[in-house]
Structure 1
Amino acid sequence: MNLKQLRAFVAVARHLSFAQAGEHLHLSQPALSLTIKALEEDLGGPLLLRTTRQVSLTPEGETLLPLAQQLLADWDNTEELLRQHFTLQTGRVSIAAMPSFAGNLLPVALRRFRDRYPKVNVSVDDVINEQVLEMVRHRRVELGIGFEPQSTQDLVFTPLYLDRFVAVVPLGSPLANQPTVRWAQLLQHDFITLQRPSAVRLLLEDALLAEHGRLNVAFESHQLSTVGRMVANGLGVSAVPALCIAQMRELGAQCVALEDPLIQRRISIMRLAEHKLSAAALALQEALVGAGLAPSLTTGDEA
């Protein structure tokens, strides 16, 4: 039993006429008769009674008719639903992003995506970089955004931009008026940073260990907003990716270019290598790449 046979049977049952059913289906009467005969042979008995004057349903035909109508309706609905998914008239996509990205640059890309595909739902998990990787690897999300790890065997990365760390200092600090700050200058002050296992914290510790030794932390927090507020209130200084510049300003802190050493890391979209993305995920990835998300490294008030 196949769709063609079911559609032929339902058409004849509705019209009680092979001629009218053939016109409706754009089939010749002989072709329609053969289709019905094949269905009856497959099922093991007659579904329609034919005379020179009329067509009627057998008891088995009457049993099949509502079931066939429901099967065809379900099939048509499934076809339409999948067509809407492929054409992004509906759908859902899940993404995980590290908080520094999710809270600063991701909304720009989501606005671009929403303007194009208003009926597609987007679910965002803002979690630390390590959890982003795990959520992608375990297929809890289709896409992840974060720093590229050292081991990338099971993941595919699409680079977004190369981010660099900037100093975060109180507005009244002498460092706030300098065009650039060296790490040796910054570390003379109480240092505020994110708690482990934040990728930001681990990256800073690894990059500074050889030249400046172990990072001496005065205050630490799980939230970048708390770090920024601490700096703004004069508790110390910090260093964050440049994508957080706008957020730090809103919290009342000043960002300054940071060097010696220059610490930078590529931020990329990640997906599981063996997993084919849905149409919605592909469109979101395109929106992310096309949004031009690289933050301005201008850190002063003139930006």
Structure 2
Amino acid sequence: MNYTLRQLRVFLAVAAHGSFSRAADAVGLTQPAVSRGVAELEDVLGVRLLDRTTREVVLTEAGQALVPALERLLEQLDDTLEETRQLGERYRGRVVIASAPTISARLMPLYVAECARRFPEIRLTVRDNVQAGGLEQIHAGAVDFGVLVDPQAREALTIEPLATDPFCFVCRRDHPLAQQATVPWRALDGVPLALLDFASGSRPLIDRILARHGVVPQVVQELGHSASVFGMVEAGIGASVLPSLSLPLPEASPLVWRPLVPREERSIVMVCREDRSLSPAAAAVWDMVRTLPLPQEPGAA
């Protein structure tokens, strides 16, 4: 049978009010629209539901039998839809965020703790991966969204800025540049450097910044994680350029960091697929991440 929910509700309104005009006022339709809706329902059912006279509208035997059953069914439908709406408002379920290693170390603990406080029925899971892997997971729909370095290719992605993160110089205390309060980018020309590799979202930015300042670096090691870079620097293999979110330095290490001047930074963004809507729970976490205050930048030591 090809009937509509509107036709059913219009019929119940006429039955309740005993008048097409009063039913029209109740449901916010014109009287002709109400009359047409009832007539269409009668055509579908193949039975008259209402007897119409110039002075009143009376339910037929079939109409009298239909009203209570229809009221129960529509009430159940309304209850089911309301339960579904409330389920969305309760923000329950699992939300998965892709995150680059330095972001995972400094920012994700804040987000996971705040999510547990605000939304105890949401289980927030972090997928800690390099930039390229995080973007791949977003495109594949394996995560709800990501917090990553601003990607070079933005096609099919929704991007929202979150924070900026300046780059800094990391070296041993006995390095000649460690004696300076700040380190100019141009001072890195020819300096042996252990850098993040190209799977990192920061490496392409670092290379472009070095080139812009006329620096030809001597790259001695390329590594996937800042912790590995710290080890190389501590061993005296080279200094490094790292994002500030890589800090703090390992405790009791012989390393120091210095601000690089002029200030150059990377953009931290929230990323999701443009063609996929976030679930109510994921949307709640997205808004939480967007508005949560971030830790202050550390002071040089």
Tell me, yes or no, whether TM beats 0.5: yes
Match of 1:291 in 2: 292
Give the TM-score taking structure 2 as reference length.
0.68
Counterpart mapping for 1:229-244 below 5 A: 229-244=231-246
The reply on whether 1:83 has 2:64 as its aligned counterpart is no
Match of 1:125 in 2: 127
Note if contact 1:164-1:264 (Cα within 8 Å) is conserved in structure 2. yes
Q: Deviations over 1:37-57 (max 9, x none)?
A: 779xxxxxxxxxxxxxxxxxx
Note if contact 2:150-2:269 (Cα within 8 Å) is conserved in structure 1. yes
Check 1:112–1:38 CA distance in 2 against 1; reply closer, same or farther (3 A cut).
Answer: closer
Secondary structure (helix, strand or coil) at the match of 2:106 reads: coil
**Which stretches in structure 2 are left out of the alignment for 5+ residues?**
2-7, 9-61
Match of 2:31 in 1: none
Residue 256 of structure 1 and its aligned partner are, at CA, apart by 0.8
State the distance in 1 between where 2:239 and 2:69 align: 83
State the distance in 2 between where 1:160 and 1:251 align: 32
**Which stretches in structure 1 are left out of the alignment for 5+ residues?**
5-29, 40-71
Note if contact 2:170-2:240 (Cα within 8 Å) is conserved in structure 1. yes
State the distance in 1 between where 2:69 and 2:257 align: 80
Residue 289 of structure 1 and its aligned partner are, at CA, apart by 2.0
State the distance in 1 between where 2:63 and 2:252 align: 75
Q: Deviations over 1:145-184 (max 9, x none)?
A: 1122233242222211121101111234343342201123
Note if contact 2:139-2:273 (Cα within 8 Å) is conserved in structure 1. yes
Q: Deviations over 1:1-55 (max 9, x none)?
A: 9xx9xxxxxxxxxxxxxxxxxxxxxxxxx9995357779xxxxxxxxxxxxxxxx
Given the alignment, which residue of 157, 160, 163 partners 1:158? Answer: 160
Match of 2:275 in 1: 274
Alignment RMSD: 3.2
Counterpart mapping for 1:28-107 below 5 A: 33-34=65-66, 83-88=86-91, 90-107=92-109
Paired amino acid for 1:225? A
Residue 255 of structure 1 and its aligned partner are, at CA, apart by 1.6
State the distance in 1 between where 2:272 and 2:296 align: 23
Residue 292 of structure 1 and its aligned partner are, at CA, apart by 1.7
Secondary structure (helix, strand or coil) at the match of 1:140 reads: coil
Secondary structure (helix, strand or coil) at the match of 2:202 reads: helix
Paired amino acid for 1:233? A
Match of 1:113 in 2: 115
Given the alignment, which residue of 182, 206, 220 partners 2:208? Answer: 206
State the distance in 1 between where 2:190 and 2:205 align: 20
Secondary structure (helix, strand or coil) at the match of 1:199 reads: coil
Residue 258 of structure 1 and its aligned partner are, at CA, apart by 0.5
Note if contact 1:193-1:220 (Cα within 8 Å) is conserved in structure 2. yes
Give the TM-score taking structure 1 as reference length.
0.67
Check 1:34–1:214 CA distance in 2 against 1; reply closer, same or farther (3 A cut).
Answer: same
Note if contact 2:188-2:217 (Cα within 8 Å) is conserved in structure 1. no
Check 1:276–1:37 CA distance in 2 against 1; reply closer, same or farther (3 A cut).
Answer: closer
Note if contact 2:190-2:218 (Cα within 8 Å) is conserved in structure 1. no
Q: Give the % identical residues.
A: 26
Check 1:139–1:226 CA distance in 2 against 1; reply closer, same or farther (3 A cut).
Answer: same
Counterpart mapping for 1:9-20 below 5 A: none
Q: Deviations over 1:53-111 (max 9, x none)?
A: xxxxxxxxxxxxxxxxxxx9xx96x97577334312x2111110111111222211221
Note if contact 1:99-1:127 (Cα within 8 Å) is conserved in structure 2. yes
Q: Identify which of structures 1 and 2 has the higher relative contact order when contacts are C-alpha pairs closer than 8 Å and 6+ apart.
A: 1
Note if contact 2:186-2:215 (Cα within 8 Å) is conserved in structure 1. no
Note if contact 2:151-2:201 (Cα within 8 Å) is conserved in structure 1. no
Check 1:268–1:294 CA distance in 2 against 1; reply closer, same or farther (3 A cut).
Answer: farther
Residue 229 of structure 1 and its aligned partner are, at CA, apart by 2.2
